Amino acid sequence: MTQMPYNRLGRCGLQVSALSFGSWVTFGEQMDVGLAKDCLEIARAGGVNFFDNAEVYAGGASEQIMGRAIAELGWERHSYVVSTKLFWGIHGDVPNMSNTLNRKYLLQGIDRSLERFGLDFVDLLYCHRPDPNTPIEETVWAMSDIVSSGKALYWGTSEWSADEIRAAWEIAERHHLHKPVVEQPQYNLFETRKVEQEYARLYEDIGLGLTTWSPLASGLLSGKYIDGVPDGSRASLPGYEWLRELLTDESQNQKVRELMVIADRLEVSVAQLTIAWCAKNPNVSTVILGASSAAQVEENLGALVALERLSDDVVSEMNAIAKRR
């Protein structure tokens, strides 16, 4: 069996599995505690040590389900890395409790997340989006204080601009605070701008680590949408009409068909191939996988085989397909 590689999270000392497991959409909407346990157990058996979550996923239910599943599985706390994210809030349109990174929200938000998880601390805490209405300095102080309190071990950002990340890092440097160490952007063959262009200077300048999401472009790169939207898929869920339009784009699905030819040549699935393409980037610390079934977790972990077979020439071939208009 192919061994899971572990990478440092940017320049900090924390090691995370090259492939990780996230709960967006599935936990609480497609997955209960029992199925969550099955998925987590398979991921863990495959070498995954990092499990990603967020306050807003399923209105807090995702954190509860993951926390209960881990507790029932009896994992020792030192043996896994878990994250959550704060910004959107789950209390409706309440002042200071939604769409903000102000100090009040962050300090109360982490307490509520830990309560839902049933944990004393999370390993990683992200600012889920930038907040133009709160000074970055206020956010940096609050996040640093959370780390100092032991409720999170490291902090970072998700979908921030390079300028915002650099500003936060420089504020922390100036005031001797805990610096942001990680960014969580979308990254896949069809979405490369931030990771490959915008953040390029930050990897060397500040040692930024990446935990990337949506390696399959919301399922487009899995190949299962080339003939339409199958029943029971994420795109068939109420409220995901926007996703159906994206996944049934014929020009993009033609590219997926061409990628499937490469995958067949390497004797892997197109999903495994495109996940491996993300993990091949040396600036990516871990690729967060989503799954709605235990079988899907196992299938996605097969990307480790694809990673071993993925030469630079094949990467170039894939890039050429993806970039063609």
Residues with a catalytic annotation lie at 57
CB 98 within 8 A of CB 88: yes
- Length of the chain counted residue by residue: 325
Report residue 166 as tokens. 């650099």
Backbone angles phi, psi at 212, to 5 degrees: -90, 150
CB 10 within 8 A of CB 181: yes
Q: Is 123 helix (H, G, I), strand (E, B) or coil?
A: strand
Q: Where are the alpha helices (DSSP H) in the chain?
A: 33-45, 61-73, 103-117, 136-149, 162-175, 193, 200-205, 241-247, 250-266, 270-280, 294-301, 303-309, 312-323
Give 21's strand partners: 51, 289
Q: Quick one: which of 185, 186, 188 has its CA closest to 321? A: 188
CB 210 within 8 A of CB 284: yes
- Give me the DSSP letters along 176-211: TPPPEEEE--B-BTTB-HIIIIITHHHHHHT--EEE
